[in-house]
């Protein structure tokens, strides 16, 4: 690498450092710009042609090119900053941020960072911070069907029972029973017999 290339990389690294420190959601794509500069395009080029030494420097700054996003610790730091300015930010926004940027990368976080998030969360919301990934719609449908055919948990073989029977599925199923759009958006995964049962129990199936 010649001296001109070295100087150019230093300028880009300085710009990247500024972006990360300012809390920018830095992205390695051609659309991302910072301070009027095509920082995203530079990062795309590094993914293809960057030297090991240069890639190491990028990672040390807190940007993981392999994931095209901030490193787990930097993502967690951003979340912690948001927690510290509560209640200016709605809990639902913080929860979404946690689920999307921090929870999937838990394995890359230090014990100290996890402990700090747990303490801040409990202090703010008076509840323990769960690190179990939320169920997807498919997960919930699978659990719902398992409940329907479970003789021990559901002796009446009903799709909708009380909270003591259904546990954490109760609210989700209750909402399906009272929302025509929601139930019909997933009805394709049920057979004709199951559809008839749902209709007989009052679900607004079309």
Render pLDDT for 129-176 as a digit per residue (tens, 0 to 9): 999 877 778 888 999 999 999 999 999 999 999 999 999 899 999 999
User: How far apart are alpha carbons 148 and 27 in whole angstroms?
Assistant: 45
The answer to whether 40 and 32 have CB atoms below 8 angstroms apart is yes
Q: How confident is the model at residue 3 (pLDDT cuts 50, 70, 90)?
A: low
Residue 88 maps to a domain: yes
Q: Lowest-pLDDT range, 67-71, 112-116, 193-197?
A: 67-71
Choice between 97 and 65, residue whose per-residue pLDDT is larger? 97
Which of 69, 99, 115 delimits the end of a domain? Answer: 69
- Determine the Cα angle at 24 with ends 48 and 41, to 5°: 25
Residue 206 maps to a domain: no
Same domain, 105 and 57: no
Same domain, 60 and 76: no
Residue 158 maps to a domain: yes
Same domain, 27 and 52: yes
Same domain, 150 and 182: yes
Same domain, 20 and 38: yes
Same domain, 83 and 65: no
**Alpha helical stretches, state H, the chain:** 3-21, 39-49, 52-61, 72-84, 91-97, 111-125, 137-148, 163-166, 170-177, 180-186, 192-200
Question: Containing domain of residue 23, as a range?
Answer: 3-69
Total domains, the chain = 3
Residue 156 maps to a domain: yes
The answer to whether 198 and 186 have CB atoms below 8 angstroms apart is no
**DSSP label at residue 103:** G
Same domain, 92 and 56: no
Residue 47 maps to a domain: yes
Residue 141 maps to a domain: yes
Cis, bond preceding 158 (omega within 30 deg of 0)? no
Cα first-last separation, the chain: 66
Same domain, 30 and 44: yes
Tell me the whole-structure pTM to 2 decimals. Answer: 0.46
The answer to whether 89 and 96 have CB atoms below 8 angstroms apart is no
User: How far apart are alpha carbons 35 and 48 in whole angstroms?
Assistant: 24
Q: What does the pLDDT average to over 13-25?
A: 84
Q: How confident is the model at residue 66 (pLDDT cuts 50, 70, 90)?
A: low
């Amino acid at each position: 690498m010649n001296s001109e290339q070295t100087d150019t990389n230093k300028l880009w690294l300085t710009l990247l450092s500024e972006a990360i420190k300012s809390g920018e959601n830095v992205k390695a794509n051609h659309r991302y710009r910072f301070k009027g500069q095509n920082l995203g395009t530079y990062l795309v080029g590094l993914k293809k042609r960057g030297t090991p030494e240069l890639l190491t420097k990028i990672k040390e700054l807190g940007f993981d090119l392999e994931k095209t996003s901030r490193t787990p610790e930097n993502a967690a730091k951003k979340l912690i900053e948001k927690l510290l300015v509560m209640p200016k930010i709605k809990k639902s926004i913080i929860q979404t941020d946690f689920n999307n940027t921090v929870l999937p990368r838990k394995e890359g976080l230090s014990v100290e960072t996890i402990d700090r998030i747990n303490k801040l969360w409990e202090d703010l919301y008076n509840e323990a911070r769960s690190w179990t990934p939320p169920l997807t719609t498919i997960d919930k449908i699978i659990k719902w069907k398992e409940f329907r055919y479970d003789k021990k948990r559901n002796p009446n073989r009903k799709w909708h029972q009380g909270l003591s029977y259904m546990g954490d599925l109760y609210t989700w199923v209750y909402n399906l029973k009272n929302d025509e759009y929601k139930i019909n958006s997933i009805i394709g995964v049920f057979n004709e017999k199951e559809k008839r049962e749902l209709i007989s129990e009052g679900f607004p199936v079309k």
